[in-house]
Chain A
Amino acid sequence: MSAAPGHAHPRIDMIGNTERALQDRALQDALGRALPVFRDLRIAVAAEVPDWEVLCDTAARIKDHVLAHLDTYLIELEAQLAALGGAVHWASDAADARRIITDLARVRGVRRVVKSKSMTTEEIHLNPALEAAGITVVETDLGEFVVQLAGDAPSHIIAPIIHKSAATVADLFAQKLGVPHYERPEDLARVARQTLRAQFLAADMGITGVNFAVAETGTLVVVENEGNARLTMTRPRIHVAVMGIEKVVPRLADLGVFLRLLARSATGQRASVYASLVTGPRRTGETDGPEEMHLVILDNGRTRVLADPELREVLRCIRCGACLNVCPVFERVGGHAYESEYSGPIGAVITPALRGLEHAGELPFASTLCGACLEVCPVKIDLPRMLLELRGRAVRAGLTGRMDRLFAQAWTFVMGSPGRLRLLGGLGRLLQRPFVRRGKIDRLPYPFNGWTAHRTAPPLAAAPFRTWWKSRRSASPQGVPRERETR
């Protein structure tokens, strides 16, 4: 894979980030509290749907069909939106998208922009570009507002400040907004609501993402709980929506499938509080709604993923975040460790896929391959398979460490013959002796020290399995099948 065009990414230091995250008590507490709640809620509402698996399967097949005919559906969407008086802009990469949106704002004399939460606009780093053009940008999702005030980055697809406590937010609001030190989340939410109301009323442009775009009707769908996206798309005179090429669905009725899956998978709600289906700008005689509507359709590496038969399936993703909530690695390290707006198992695949493996070679290794992500995915993306695929590619591209390769080669050699395995076992039992303390190995010398840095290893058993097996067989000849000696 080559680098994503137009935007240089530094290499992601997943291992270093993990070390730091594991030391962060507050992060560990916050994730440990929030994620089990998400998981339990999801299980309860998914169980209510009698044909959950059929629904997931239908969603996956609709997405696969769209991906096979993406050009057709995007052209249909464009034509429908144009007929309604909307405008479509095509962006090949992040820089292209930033330029399109900044130009739209500049030409129209826009001074203030309100935004609702959108992973795609995070992906293209839109805010700094608008600010550089002298435009004020305000994030209006409660979590994103906090992120912006703190100069932080979101750490979860749907819960951007899952890493922050209410007390941290209270400090931030007191410091930046000059309000008393409120402790209760409802008071903090009220402060944010009041602060942001003024912003909505003053803004000339509202920027949102898109959850789904319906080709046959030209409808854009934005799903949320707070109402800030509705305000963003309703109040300012210009609405700009940004979506990846994969967000299009063929039929209006397809939304029935996706909306039923999305909220249940994301937050464990039966439905999100608001699903806004906007079909073109304000019509004649209407007293609110945007006068202008623009849709920016973004590639930014997606066609590269589309062309890749092994990874194409990730483009089914509806950004629900269910895989984050069940991932044992995400639960320990949080979203920031992935250094991308897409974290967790989906991020470990999508970031290397979009940016290029050379920028994110460690990410596919940040998984235990336990399979929980596949189990909860509402569009059945086989993330474990793709994580393995990317690991293989990273090894073949020489992106893994020299020591890793050496170990893998040695392991292959040893496992290649029973005699060699027996020999190594005997040697290991002998060499481990000075390191076994109270029945555990908790410290090994270089180059094995990485293994014991965060965990203890059980020592090799006194007798190998083969010896145990033989003694067991002679003890009860009927109890176990006869071993076939192959050599």
Chain B
Amino acid sequence: MSRDALLARIRAASPGAATVGGLPSARDARPAPPELPALPAPQAFDDPVGLFIDRARDLGAGVERVASVQEAAEWTAAWVRRRGLRRVAVWETPDLAPVLDGLRAEGIDILGPGSPVETLAQADAGVTGAEWGIAETATLALASGRPQPRLVSLLPPVHLAILRADRIVADLHAFFVRCGALPSSLTLITGPSRSADIGSVLVLGAHGPTEVLILLIGR
């Protein structure tokens, strides 16, 4: 069936269709279809950052706090050393430049945008920057882009997301008011990948990272 025939079928079936074939129809006499309702106002939390942290930990995500980007770079380098990570996939956004410099100084393998996917799949960790945080659910919002490959937050077993505390909004309603033009892919991430399919037992790291670490910059 063609597009137009299917659309005509939909139009004929719709309760709100005022005209059929360009002519006023008997349906005009029916009550008007419901208007689009107003959306709920964002919630007002006393301490959105505190809520974000609590709920992230509920999900099994780690949260660390630092005061500045410089401290974030130091923390990340120390973390890589402590964990013995040898190969790290990264985003190359300007915000993350100090962090990447710190990692390069560690002398480990850095996989930037354009790295072959097979190598990316062998990375020990992926380092990204979340654009926004959502307090109600401890959700990270990650945009795709030229320096921000989608697979960095997905293929490696550990995902380190760096987020500025002042980018934490209350809930999804607040988020969609602020999020602006959409990238080709906007991913909302809430905790580590999981599944309870087998035997109704919760397993972390089904297809994505087993571990999610959030590095919060600022108070």
Which residues of A does B touch, CB under 8 Å? 30, 33-34, 37, 50-51, 54-55, 58, 61-62, 64-65, 67-71, 74-75, 90-93, 96, 140-143, 146, 159-162, 164-167, 169, 185-186, 188-189, 193, 196-197, 201, 217, 219, 225-228, 230-231, 234-235, 245, 250-257, 259-260, 267, 269-283, 285-289, 297, 299, 303-304, 306-307, 309, 312
Contacts and interface: CB of A to CB of B under 8 A. Distances in A.
B185 A193 contact: no
A185 B206 CA distance: 11
Interface string B156-189: 0000000000000001110111010011111111
Given A142-B197, A230-B150, A71 B114 contact: no
- A-B pairs, top 5 by smallest CB distance, nearest first, are A68-B16, A227-B208, A166-B199, A68-B33, A92-B1
Given A253-B177, A273-B190, A279 B182 contact: yes
A255 B121 contact: no
Q: Dominant SS at the B interface? A: loop
Given A142-B197, A259-B172, A288-B151, 15 more contacts: A58-B37, A61-B37, A67-B15, A69-B33, A74-B10, A197-B121, A226-B208, A227-B208, A260-B172, A283-B183, A287-B146, A289-B184, A299-B9, A303-B9, A303-B10
A71 B10 contact: yes
Interface of B: 1-3, 5-7, 9-17, 33-37, 39-40, 43, 55, 113-114, 117-118, 121, 134, 136-139, 144-146, 149-151, 154, 171-173, 175-177, 179, 182-201, 203, 205-209
Contacts of B199: 164-167, 169, 185
Contact of A226 (B184, B187, B194): B194
Contact of B200 (A34, A227, A277): A34
A282 B40 CA distance: 33
A256 B151 contact: no
Contact of A169 (B33, B117, B171, B198): B198
B198 A58 contact: no
Nearest to B35: A65
A279 B185 contact: yes
B14 A159 contact: no
B203 A273 contact: no
Given A169-B199, A273-B191, A257 B40 contact: yes
Contact of A253 (B39, B121, B185): B39
Contact of B34 (A64, A92, A279, A281): A64
B36 A62 contact: yes
Contacts, number: 252
B198 to A, nearest CB: 4
Given A51-B40, A61-B37, A75-B7, A228 B136 contact: no
Given A62-B36, A65-B34, A201 B182 contact: no
16 contacts: A64-B34, A90-B6, A140-B207, A159-B196, A164-B199, A201-B117, A234-B154, A235-B117, A253-B177, A256-B172, A259-B172, A260-B172, A275-B188, A283-B184, A287-B149, A306-B13
Nearest to A275: B188
Nearest to B173: A256
A196 B207 CA distance: 9
Given A33-B200, A226-B208, A288 B190 contact: no
A174 B151 CA distance: 30
B197 A286 contact: no
A96 B207 contact: no
Nearest to B183: A279
A306 B15 CA distance: 8
Contact of B185 (A61, A75, A161, A289): A289
A287 B136 CA distance: 32
A188 B200 contact: no
A287 B92 CA distance: 12
Given A257-B40, A274-B187, A228 B207 contact: yes
Nearest to B182: A279
B43 to A, nearest CB: 8
B33 A230 contact: no
Contact of A71 (B7, B136, B179): B7
Given A68-B33, A68-B34, A197-B121, A255 B194 contact: no
Contact of A285 (B11, B146, B195): B146
Nearest to A142: B197
